[in-house]
Amino acid sequence: MTTLAIAASGLRKSYRDKSGDKVVLDGIDLAVPQGTVFSLLGPNGAGKTTTVQILSTLIRADAGQVHVAGYDVNREADDVRGAIGVTGQYSAVDKLLTGEENLLLMADLKHLPRREGRQRARELLAQFDLVDAAAKSAGTYSGGMRRRLDLAMTLVGDPRLIFLDEPTTGLDPRSRRAMWGIVRDLVKDGVTIFLTTQYLEEADELADRIALLDRGRLIAEGTAEELKRLIPGGHVLLKFADPSRLDAARLALGVGTPDPEALTLQVPSDGSVRVIRQVLAVLDEHSIEIDEMSVHTPDLDDVFLTLTGHKEALR
């Protein structure tokens, strides 16, 4: 059995305001196996930060069961805090301190012995490409550098479970890619990552499993491939060496849109292995040779639009 780094069921949270109770999380279930990247994907206001705050013991849910790193977030909050690292949506970096001082301060908060703290700070500055900037005040850092320092600070205590709340929102594409590389390295070391994002591409790139959060509800959950298969628009593209094979294939399959110029046949498919196997079996039966084959699934944008009916809010 795989051990779960995060197990939550029936999470609910409302805030009371002038117009009454505003439901922010409306019964969320989560299961994140150790050593995996789980992405909570949703537009602004969906409830991502609220979820992270509950899982990381910053706020309490109104209802639901939550275990993080094997501990109950309500009864064993200190144990949870000792086991996790959190990089919030809003930076924990002190702009008046240098990059190195920020890391040393964090080492102090984590009660690392002085020497060990300095050693850890040096390692992290190197790992996050901040050696040259180490002695400069963080206020002078670019957005990408500040995010890297923020994440480095989270790693001072070597947490095995890390929450990253929108780690690349507002970053330019290059800084975003750098951050993705860092996340991948952490995963290689076996760290579990709970990542929230508004970027479909980011979830697609990094996550083992993705949950789509919309207005406080999970509307779908699975691997990127599974989610893409939820909606139509996918197809298998077959390429042939000559027009006669293309025609024969069209006839044998009884479906598909031929492109005589490209010598391809586009066959509708949900991307499942079953359908692909069927297509290949039919062509094989008729001894029709294929030159190339590719499977096209719709992207996550399509999924979100189909499932929610609104995607403008998502980047």
Ligand X SMILES: Nc1ncnc2c1ncn2[C@@H]1O[C@H](COP(=O)(O)OP(=O)(O)O)[C@@H](O)[C@H]1O
Query: What does 88 interact with, of Mg ion, ligand X, none (CB < 5 to 8 A by kind)?
Result: none
| DSSP per position, the chain | -PPEEEEEEEEEEEEEETTEEEEEEEEEEEEEETT-EEEEE--TTSSHHHHHHHHTTSS--SEEEEEETTEETTTSHHHHHHHEEEE-SS----TTSBHHHHHHHHHHHTT--HHHHHHHHHHHHHHTT-TTTTTSBGGGS-HHHHHHHHHHHHHTT--SEEEEESTTTT--HHHHHHHHHHHHHHHHTT-EEEEEES-HHHHHHH-SEEEEEETTEEEEEE-HHHHHHTSS--EEEEE-SSHHHHHHHHHHHS--EEETTTTEEEEE--S-HHHHHHHHHHHHHTT---SEEEEE---HHHHHHHHHS--TT--
Question: CB-wise, 6 or 46, nearer to ligand X?
Answer: 46
Residues 16-55 as x/- pattern, contact with Mg ion by CB under 5 A: --------------------------------xx------
Considering the complex, what minimum distance in angstroms separates the CB of residue 8 from Mg ion? 17
Specify the residue, 74 or 89, whose C-beta has the smaller distance to Mg ion. 89
* Contacted by 47, from Mg ion, ligand X, none: CB < 5 to 8 Å by type: ligand X
Identity of the residue, 49 or 192, whose beta carbon is nearer to ligand X in the bound complex? 49
Of residues 46 and 69, the one with the C-beta less far from ligand X: 46
Residue 88 vs 298, nearer CB to Mg ion: 88
In whole angstroms, how close is the CB of 25 to ligand X at the nearest point? 8
- With contacts defined by CB under 5 A, name the span among 88-96, 118-126, 204-212, 220-228 that binds Mg ion: 88-96
Cβ-proximal residue to Mg ion, closest one? 49
How far, in Å, CA of 222 to CA of 7, rounded? 16
Residue 153 contact partner, candidates ligand X, Mg ion, none, CB within 5 to 8 A by sort of partner? none
Residues near ligand X (CB under 6 A):
15, 24, 42, 44-50
Of 89 and 272, nearer to ligand X (C-beta) is: 89
Is 89 a binding residue for Mg ion by CB under 5 A? The answer is: yes
44 binds, among ligand X, Mg ion, none (CB under 5 to 8 A by kind): ligand X
Q: Is 56 in the site for Mg ion (CB under 5 A)?
A: no
- By CB under 5 A, tell whether 169 contacts Mg ion: no
CA angle 31, 35, 36 (to 5 degrees): 55
Nearer to ligand X, 58 or 293 (CB): 58
What is d(CA 96, CA 80) in angstroms, rounded to the nearest whole number?
30
Write down the least CB distance from residue 165 to Mg ion, Å: 6
* Number of residues located near Mg ion, criterion CB under 5 A: 3
Question: Which spans of this chain sit near Mg ion (rule: CB under 5 A)?
Answer: 48-49, 89
